[in-house]
Amino acid sequence: MKKILVLLIIGCFAFGTNAFTQTKATVDLKGDDHKISRHIYGHFSEHLGRCIYDGIWVGENSSIPNNQGIRKEVIDALKGIGIPNLRWPGGCFADEYHWKDGIGPKDERPPMINTHWGMVSEDNSFGTHEFLRLCNLLDAEPVIAGNVGSGTVKELSDWVEYVNSDIESDMTRLRKKNGKEDAWYVKYWGVGNESWGCGGNMNPTQYYEKMVRYSTYMRSYPDKPLYKVAVGPSGFNPEWTEEFMKNVAEKGGAHLFSGYSLHYYTVPGNWQDKGSATEFGESEWFTTIRKALRLEDLIEVNARIIDKYLPDADIDLVVDEWGCWHNVETGTRPGFLYQQNTLRDALVAGLSLNIFNNHSDRVKMANIAQTVNVLQAMVLTREEQLIKTPTYHVFDMYQVHHDATYLPLKLISQDYEFKNKEIQAVTASASEDEDGKVHITFTNADPHNTASVECAPDGDRTLEFKRGEVLTHSQMNAHNTFEDPKKVTVREFNNAEVENGRIKVEVPAKSVVMVEFE
């Protein structure tokens, strides 16, 4: 393909004035040497609140339409956004979960107390077989987080063998006894979760030593190589990465993991009072977007540290927990983390996915928290009802980037100003699919001003605007409810054109936009 440069000129018109500001960016349409992994668009389902029980799992005898106990509407909704992978069983829950309690006849499975989330009793009716059947129904890759905090090396080794081996053994006989003749193949495994906190309160050196032992005995069976993810820091804690990677460099072990986990939650307030999901003004809006944009710094800082200590190692970044975290909804259990999902959350989702796309040479997987009824969920359920959140619609719009060729895009956005503070107003990312269609996704966080985009191709390829989609609303806290399930949804977008070879797009205030050219 011939190299084409597109100049983006983004102008912001202030309401009631003739003010116009311009910034410039370039997108290289010849493409880069890598694709945007579809696994960046992954999801996370923990045994937390109503994510699994009453969300995904309703049981075989439920009056709610289900497929052998799995809520049918959840299956349909997740298939609708092309879910590429699903992480389970946690989260903090993973390091108190003993997988053998969740296999075999359901009436013989011992109940357990979920000590992390609500101190509720769980009957273990949703376990390994149920989870892997769910992934099969979704055509999604399973991602299993292993118990390093309270489990044993043998326990995790046995789990891998039970799931992946076809060689005659005690574990494979047990699997067959429980109704699965042939092995599944689970490629992606987490070697623990948040080992600096709920996963064991370890320091980086202690975790390094655990990782080496546990990972060593997580075997790759014939034709079933494992992709293991080591535990990285909580948010901005480069000291963890420094010490961990120094241990790896000095003592060895780079071959024992392929991915390095990052967790980053966008919290509008503080951890004691995170702020309401729905009752907020422009101050909270601005703060949320500002914090979400720091995700890019997190990726870049950790990538630099890894390269400093292990310049020849091929270690991916895996952002396997991210998203907005607000106060729980009034009248719900605090430990269940049920929150609503507004246009603000959709903007955070869009700009985060743009950041992942633009760092897709290093970020190979990400998992938004969480899939159903918890934190920044895709869907919310109430008895037999299900609604799709604004964040769901962003993931729907961004499907165009799944496994598409990355198009390098350099953007210097105009600022969004609020009370003498400034942040980047516009984010964007671009890709080209296998059919030659070019897709650009934008977010405009400015709640007042439209971003006017003009693209001037430099080359002999003529692009034609084919279609567009937009997600926006007049209210920044607009959200879908069971009474009004389509208040915030994707609309057709036609405010784009190609005139005299120049592309023009008007990106509305507080919106997420996808445009397609061919």
Q: Which residues are catalytic?
A: 194, 321
DSSP 352: H
Sorted by sequence, the CB contacts under 8 Å of residue 482 that are 6+ apart come out as: 380, 382, 385, 387
Q: Name the residue with tokens 């036609």.
A: 494
Say if CB 149 and CB 200 are below 8 A apart.
Answer: yes
Gap between the Cα atoms of 75 and 336, Å rounded: 22
Residue 390 parent element (H or E) = helix 390-397
Closest by CA to 195, choosing from 136, 250, 237, is 237
User: Which ranges of 165-268 does DSSP label H, i.e. alpha helix?
Assistant: 170-177, 204-216, 238-251
Q: What are phi and psi for residue 434, nearest 5 degrees?
A: -70, -15
- Report in angstroms the alpha-carbon separations of 457 from 343, 440, 515: 32, 14, 16
- Report in angstroms the alpha-carbon separations of 508 from 118, 280, 320, 412, 490: 41, 21, 31, 18, 13
Any idea how long the chain is? 518
Gap between the Cα atoms of 270 and 325, Å rounded: 10
Structure tokens at 318: 């895996």
Gap between the Cα atoms of 377 and 390, Å rounded: 9
Gap between the Cα atoms of 428 and 410, Å rounded: 9
Residue 346 parent element (H or E) = helix 343-358
Gap between the Cα atoms of 75 and 64, Å rounded: 13
Gap between the Cα atoms of 215 and 147, Å rounded: 12
Q: How many secondary structure helices (H) and strands (E) does the chain include?
A: 10, 28
Q: What are phi and psi for residue 102, nearest 5 degrees?
A: -110, 25
**Nearest-10 Cα torsion for 320, 326, 328, 329:** -120
Q: Which residues of 487-509 are buried (b: 16+ CB within 10 A; e: fewer)?
A: bbebeebeebeeeeeebbbbbbb
Gap between the Cα atoms of 468 and 447, Å rounded: 20
